[in-house]
Amino acid sequence: MRTADIRSRFLDFFAARGHTVVPSAPLPTPDPTLLFVNAGMVPFKPYLTGEASPPWPRATSVQKCVRTLDIEEVGRTTRHGSFFQMNGNFSFGDYFKEEAIAFAWELSVSAVEDGGYGLDPERIWATVHHSDDEAAVLWRRIAGLPEERIVRRGDEDNFWSMGVPGPCGPCSELYYDRGPALGRAGGPAVDEDRYMEFWNLVFMQYERGEGAGKSGYPILGELPRRNIDTGMGLERMATLLQGVDNLYEIDETRPVLDRAAELTGVRYGADHLADVRLRVVADHVRTALMLLADGTAPGNEGRGYVLRRVLRRAVRSVRLLGYQDPALPELLPAARDCMKHSYPEVAEEFDRISQQAYAEEDAFRSTLRQGTTVLDTAVAEVKARGGHLLPGRQAFLLHDTYGFPIDLTLEMAEEQGVEVDREGFTSLMTEQRERARADARARKSGGALDTSVLRPVLDAHGPTDWRAYDALETESRVLALLGTGGPVTSVRTGGIATAVLDRTPFYAESGGQDSDAGALTGASVEAEVLDVQRPLPGLVVHQVRVTAGELAVGDAVRAAVDPEWRLGARQAHSGTHVLHAALRQVLGPTALQAGSYNRPGYLRLDFPWRGPLGPVARGEVEEAANRALRRDLPVDVRWMSLPEAKELGALALFGETYGERVRVVEIGGAWSRELCGGTHVAHAAQVGVVALTAESSVGAGMRRLEAATGFEGFGYLARERDLVSRLAEQLQAPRTGLPERVAGLLERLKAADQRAEELRGRAALARAAELAAAATDVGGTLMVTATTDADARALALAVRDRLPEARPGVAAIGATAGDGGKAVVTIALNGAAVTAGLSAAALVKSLLGGRGGGTAEVAQGGGLAAGALAATLDALRGMLP
C-alpha cells in the first residue's frame, strides 16, 4: 500500500466517525519555542491545554513534522528521520479511552477491502502505564489481546506531559511483531527493532505541577475536561505495510536513495558507511523539499540554517560517495515525484523550490572546494603540533569567509580526529552580530528617516500599540514600508527597509537601552529586525532585513522579540541602575550619571569626575553593586505624576522632557530610584553579576565605566581567573605576588631593550660607514642600496650623512616589516642631490606604484611583498638621471 493511500485511508476512517479533517499546518511554527512543528499535536496545543476553545469536538490530521535534534543520527540508525508525518485523531472533551482504543484497533486490523490496514491481530502488542488498569481491561475486552501481550511500563515510556505544569496523562502504545529475523522474542520491552511502535494513544486526564524529568512532579488532580491525542507514524505504518526493513526504504524515500546509488555507482546494502550516506541523502533531500515548499529559505540562522544544513549534508554525502557533479537536479525531482501524491504543492511550486535548492548547491560546491582545503590544512597544522583542538578563529574563518556552517566543520573535523573550540567560535560570532547591528544603525543614520513621510502614517493610523513592557510577541499588520528612496509597497529577500506596524512588542532604542532583536514572520516572509526607533512621538518603526520571501504593506505578521536578547537587555539595564547607585554610594551624590548605553551582556556609564578612580575605588564600587545583587533587592515599577516622582526623590536624568505621567523604577526602594522607560528584571539577583571591565576618560572631567553582566559577566570573570592562574603557573609565583614578579620582569626587559638598542645603533653606524664607502656611481650620483633587519630609516640617514656633500648622494634601505612579510623602503638624499632636482618622495612613489610619501630629503613607503624587495631596490638605478 502506497504511503499516500495509507494517509488518505486514515483521514477517511476518522472523517466517517465524526472527525473534522484538519489540513497539515506549515512546518514553520508560530510557537516561539519551536523552529518547526515537531509533533502532530503542536497545532492543537491551545485546545488541548485549554488556552483556546476548539472549533470542533473531534478532529483528525496528517501533520508534517521536522525534528532537528535527530539530524546527526539520520542514516546511522534506521529509526531516525528529520522529516516525518504523524497521523492523529483528537478529542477535545468528547470521547476518551474506550473510543480511542476501539478506533485504533478497528483501523489497524480491519481488512483492506473494508478500509482498514489489515494488520495481523496476532502480532500486535500493547503497552500501558503500570497504573492504568482501565486501559489494560479495555485492550482485553475490545481487542481480545491476551494478558501476555499487554505490557505495563513506567513513566519513562508510558506517561506523557509537555515538560511544564499543565495537562498530562498515561499513554498506550501499539507495537507490531515483525518476526524473528529482526530480533529477539519477548515483546517491546525486550527488542524495539523487532517490535516496531506504530501508534501512541495519549489519555490527557490529569494536571501536573512543577518538577523535572518524566516523573519528578506532583499530580494535582483530574482535568475538568479530558482529551485524546493520538499519533500514528505514517512512515512506520508504511514500513510495515510495504514489507520493508526501515523508513528509508518506503515508497516516499527509496526512489531518492536508489537514484543516489545509481549516480554514485554504489550498491545499497553492500557497505555500512555507504549505506549511512545514502540514507542521509534520501532523508535530507526529502526534508529540504518539504521545507522549501513551506516557504523556508536557506540562511545562516534559525529555520534557514536548518534547511541549509540538511541541503549541504545531502550534497556532501553524495560527493563522499564519489559523485562530483551537481546532484540536486538529479535527486530533488525524484523526491518531488514521491511526495506530490500527498502534497500537490511540491509539484506546483517546483520551479521556485528547485531554483532555491540548485542555487544553494552551486554556492556550496564552491564553498566546499575552498573550505575543505583550508580545513584540511588547519587540521594538519593542529596535528603537527601534537594538538587535538581546532581554534575557534579557524572555525569562524571557515564560516565567515567560506560559508561553512559550524556543524559541517564539527563533522569534518571529527572525521579527522580533531575537536573544535566551540566557545571561541561562539564569541567571534557574537562580535560579528554586534558589528552587523552597528552597521545597520550607521546606514540608518546615514540616511535619516523622513518624518514628513511618516507623519501621514501616524495621522492615519494613530500611535503604535506598543507592548514591550508586557509581551514578547504580537500579531501585527504592516502599515507602511520605507526604502532608501521613500515609501515602497514591498521588499524582497535581501532587501532592507523601515517597517511601521500597527502594534509591536519591540523595545525602541531609548534611555541608553539598545533596541530589541527578533523577527517578523508571515505566511510568505521572514525578516530580521535590525533596529527599532521612535522617529515621532507615539510612532515606533523597525528596520528590517528580509531573509526569505517578500514583505508587503498590509501583510499580517508575527512580531517576535528574541527572548534571550530581551533577558540580556533587562539584565544590563537593571545592572546600569545598580552600578549608578553603587557609584553614588561610594563617591557621593555628585557622581551623577551623565550618559549610558546598555545591550545584552554589556553596559557603560558616564559620570563627571575629576580623575581616574583607581583600583581601590573601582573595587569598592563593584563590591557595592554585587552586594546589592546578592541581597536580591526587589525591582518595582510605578507610574505617577512628575511632581510625585520628584517628591519621592526619583532621579530625572539628562535634562529630558517628561510627560505628565512618568515611570519610576526602584531597586531596593530609595537605594536606587530613577525615572526610566527601559525594561528591567524583577529582582536584582537576576542581573547575575556586575563585572567592571574598563575605566577610561571620555573628555575633560568625564569618566566612563564599562561592565559585563549576566552570563557575559561570569564569563569575563572566569577568563580573568584562568589568566591569573596561567600567569602564576608560568611565572612560578603565588597569585598575590604576581604584580611584584611582573614588575621585576618588566624592569629587566626594559634594561635589556635599552642595551639591545645601543648595540643595534653601534652596528648600524659601523655598517653605514662601510655602505657609504662602497657607494656606486650612477651618472655622477652616488647610490647606496641595502637591506636591514633593523630600523631602515635610521640606517638610511646614517649612510646619507657619510656620503660626500660635494656630490649628489642617494641612500635606499629596505627592511621587512612585521605585518605578514611586507617590506618598507626608506630613501634619504643629501643636499647636493636635492639641489640637483631629485626628490626622495618622488622616488619612493615611483618605486612603489604611488604608495608612500615624505619630503624631498627623506621619504618612506610600505606594502611591498618581501620577495620583491631586492628587485625594487635594483630598479632605483634606472630612475636616477
- Which residues participate in the annotated binding site for Zn(2+)? 573, 577, 676, 680
Cα–Cα distance for residue pair 150/147, rounded to 1 Å: 5
Work out the angle at residue 657's Cα, subtended by the Cα atoms of residues 656 and 662, and round it to the nearest 5 degrees: 100
- For 651, the grid coordinates are 532621579
Q: What is the distance between the alpha carbons of residues 666 and 638, in angstroms, rounded to a whole number?
A: 8
Handedness of CA 262, 265, 269, 274 (dihedral sign): negative
Largest CA-CA distance found in the chain, in angstroms, rounded? 122
**Cross-strand partners of 373:** none
Beta strands in 772-874 (DSSP E): 776-778, 781-788, 809-816, 822-829, 853-854, 858-865
**H or E segment at 669?**
none
Which SS3 state, helix, strand or coil, does residue 95 take? coil
Residues 6+ apart with CB under 8 A from 864: 814, 822, 823, 824, 825, 848, 851, 872
How far apart are the C-alpha atoms of 353 and 291, rounded to whole Å?
9
Q: What is the DSSP letter of 475?
A: E
Q: How would you class 826 by CB atoms within 10 Å of its CB: exposed for 0-12, middle for 13-18, buried for 19 or more?
A: buried
Measure the CA–CA gap between 232 and 309, rounded to whole angstroms: 28
In whole angstroms, give the CA distance from residue 450 to residue 539.
13
CA distance 535 to 541: 7
- Residues of the binding site: 573, 577, 676, 680
Which is it for the CA torsion 492, 494, 498, 502, positive or negative?
A: positive
Residue 826 CA to residue 766 CA, distance in Å, equals 19
Strands 635-641 and 661-667: antiparallel
Type and span of the H or E element at 223 = strand 219-233
